[in-house]
Amino acid sequence: MNEPASLKIKIRAGAYPRTADTVEQILRSTLKILMTDGYSALSIRRVAGDCGVAIGNLTYHFPNKAALLKELLEAVLEAYADRARQGA
């Protein structure tokens, strides 16, 4: 989990490419904050500020911190599963 940039984020079918970019950016910022400052420092406002996304845009994709963390956990686990399947 050293490299937040290596996350492969799956977005629902039919989503616009910019949506996928925004969600990936949000998740990378979330992971960065968790890794550097811990859970207690994580907030929707902090993530929005870190990745340069409006709070309204962030809450459109993730209505609360729990939803954000759930998606991040799924993305991280999927990235590890992909690496395991590739034998890396």
Report CA Rg, the chain. Answer: 13
Number of other CB atoms surrounding residue 75 within 10 Å: 20
Higher pLDDT, 13 or 41: 41
Stated pTM of the model: 0.78
Q: Are the beta carbons of 27 and 75 closer than 8 angstroms?
A: yes
Query: 7: pLDDT confidence band, cut at 50, 70 and 90?
Result: low
Domains defined along the chain, listed by start: 17-86 (1.10.357.10)
CA 68 to CA 44: how far, in whole Å? 9
Is 13 a residue whose pLDDT tops 50?
A: no
Length of the chain: 88
Residue 1 has what pLDDT? 45
